[in-house]
Structure 1
Amino acid sequence: MLRAVTRVTCSLCPPWAGPSVRMHSSERAPKRSLANRVAVVTGSTAGIGLAIARRLAQDGAHVVISSRKQQNVDRAVTALREEGLSVMGTVCHVGKAEDREHLVATALEHCGSVDFLVCNAAVNPLVGSTLGASEQVWDKILSVNVKSPALLLSQLLPHMEKRGNGAVILVSSISAYMPHVELGAYNISKTALLGLTRTLALELAPRGIRVNCLIPGVIETAFSEVVHKNEAFWNQLKESQRVQRIGQPEDCAGLVSFLCSPDASYITGESIVVAGFSPRL
């Protein structure tokens, strides 16, 4: 299968092209704490994934973005390039082995190495009870949400290990701590990522790679509409919510950049909630 690659001319150390046109978090000059580093971000053409890709690029990294549809990749790459950011993109359905191989090959071909992997791609093909999910639904959710991060990392690991000081960020969900009955099997897949984070952190620490987990709360994205547009659920959540608003994708992006940066060099195996409250209190 032929796949288009949307990219800019890049090297391992792309020149900074000036501050972003859209400073979502604040009007700040780029810190470039991630300069000379390369990040691969899955599911990164909209919502939380796009915000993460933007922030990593603002902080100096060259970012390889991906999603399942070429038109979404093209749109995201164009938008980020217009902000003066160093990005490239390619189609990748993380549930398909050939697409994962293509993503890895593309990143290595154009960037030479990879330092950071952010696994944001996820699916939820069923809104309904856990026991109402068919075997096909279970296979799809577990394949994309749980298996694909491990399999993709296994392909990137030799290259990340050569570079040293690598970081992996898995993106879970507040549903891992507060299951929503209508999200059934999705809740379980996101809970599994907490265990995957701790296990991989142990395995990869001797190889110079840190593994942490982002746990977004109710974030205003198209993917989470089933939750954040559910008035009954939101009213219930507000009883424990400390920050009385729905989160924005940018609320998650800064944390991911920090976890990739040298400032987080002594942090691994952590699952960090970004939800306006702590579900473990």
Structure 2
Amino acid sequence: MAVPTTFDLTGKIALVTGASRGIGEATAKLLAAHGAHVIVSSRKIDACLDVVETIKTAGGSAEALTCHIGEMDQIEAIFSVIEAKHGRLDILINNAAANPYFGPIVDTDLGAFQKTLDVNIRGYFFMSANGARLMAKNGGGAIVNVASVNGVIPGVFQGIYSITKAAVMSMTQAFAKECAAKGVRVNALLPGATDTRFAATLLHNPTILEKALEHIPMQRVAQPDEMAGAILYLVSPTASYTTGVCLPVDGGFLLA
């Protein structure tokens, strides 16, 4: 049996959440560059349309759909639209996330706690469930959950966020085990410190950045494109026998 070793995604339908900037934007552009039709999704349509225009200008195929994954009705709505329009989904990148609170874990208020769980756990869970069901109807597909190295080593003053990312890792493996027989592969990416607006509060603080670099053997933060490359591998035919993996892309942080 020939083993596919290609990153060609021609004809694939891909949904990327949180795709208006950062890792999501970089991933949407890279998947489109390798032939996928990319559904660029986030809470704000204008930002998504900007990414779609960039993809189309580069010769790719894309469309924009809004979805706040913290809202159950919006999750149901986006999958209804995708199934009605395309009849299939081949790739799902769960990237949208919430991190509304930075401070002592014991001072986490109920609002921040609930918002983080609603997006990072409930949102990922039901996006994955809907995605896996639709993929199974058409012979399979690939899901990548963007977790974090904080799911392995909790970040200081990032308690509830870290807890949800640990849950995403467990969720990834649970879905991978049950969905494999349907041809659906489910993996997770564990980004280390990455230069995105999401992390700007931490990484643009010289004192915090200096402390962070002490624990990164490569002595630098990542760029979003470096995360997108790992995601491309995980959804591509080259990774056809890879499922249930939680892949650190962290400059060696978890080795330090």
Q: Which of 124, 132, 136 is equivalent to 2:99?
A: 124
Q: Does 1:261 align with 2:240?
A: no
Q: Provide the secondary structure at the position in 2 that maps to 1:178.
A: coil
Q: Which of 125, 128, 150 is equivalent to 1:150?
A: 125
Match of 2:245 in 1: 270
Whole-angstrom distance in 2 between the partners of 1:268 and 1:131: 36
Which is worse superposed, 42-51 or 101-110? 101-110
Q: Which of 128, 132, 136 is equivalent to 2:111?
A: 136
Q: Does 1:222 align with 2:197?
A: yes
Q: Does 1:44 align with 2:29?
A: no
Asked whether the 8 Å contact 1:32–1:58 carries over to 2, the reply is no
Q: Which of 174, 192, 203 is equivalent to 2:178?
A: 203
Q: Which of 149, 165, 187 is equivalent to 1:190?
A: 165
Asked whether the 8 Å contact 1:41–1:117 carries over to 2, the reply is yes
Q: Provide the secondary structure at the position in 2 that maps to 1:234.
A: helix
Whole-angstrom distance in 1 between the partners of 2:70 and 2:109: 18
Which is worse superposed, 59-68 or 77-86? 77-86
Match of 1:63 in 2: 38
Whole-angstrom distance in 2 between the partners of 1:244 and 1:176: 21
Compute the TM-score of the two structures, normalised by the length of structure 1.
0.85
Shift of 1:280: 4.4
Task: Say if 1:219 and 1:183 are closer, same or farther in 2 by CA, change over 3 A.
Answer: same
Whole-angstrom distance in 1 between the partners of 2:231 and 2:69: 20
Task: Say if 1:226 and 1:178 are closer, same or farther in 2 by CA, change over 3 A.
Answer: farther
**1:194-214, Cα deviation, whole Å (9 max, x unpaired):** 111111111111111111000
Shift of 1:32: 6.2
Aligned alpha-carbon RMSD (Å): 1.5
* Structure richer in helix, relative to its length: 2
- Structure 2 counterparts to residues 229-268 of structure 1, below 5 A: 229-268=204-243
Instruction: Provide structure 1 residue ranges, at least 5 long, that are not aligned to the other structure.
Output: 1-30
Q: How many residues get paired?
A: 251
- Structure 2 counterparts to residues 25-40 of structure 1, below 5 A: 33-40=8-15
Match of 2:71 in 1: 96
Shift of 1:173: 1.3
* Aligned residue type for 1:218: A
* Aligned residue type for 2:121: V
Whole-angstrom distance in 1 between the partners of 2:43 and 2:142: 24
* Aligned residue type for 1:254: G
Instruction: Provide structure 2 residue ranges, at least 5 long, that are not aligned to the other structure.
Output: 1-5
- Identity score, percent: 34
Match of 1:4 in 2: none
**1:239-279, Cα deviation, whole Å (9 max, x unpaired):** 33222222100001111111111110111111111111140
Whole-angstrom distance in 1 between the partners of 2:238 and 2:7: 13
Q: Provide the secondary structure at the position in 2 that maps to 1:186.
A: helix
Whole-angstrom distance in 2 between the partners of 1:172 and 1:272: 9
* Aligned residue type for 2:124: P
Compute the TM-score of the two structures, normalised by the length of structure 2.
0.93
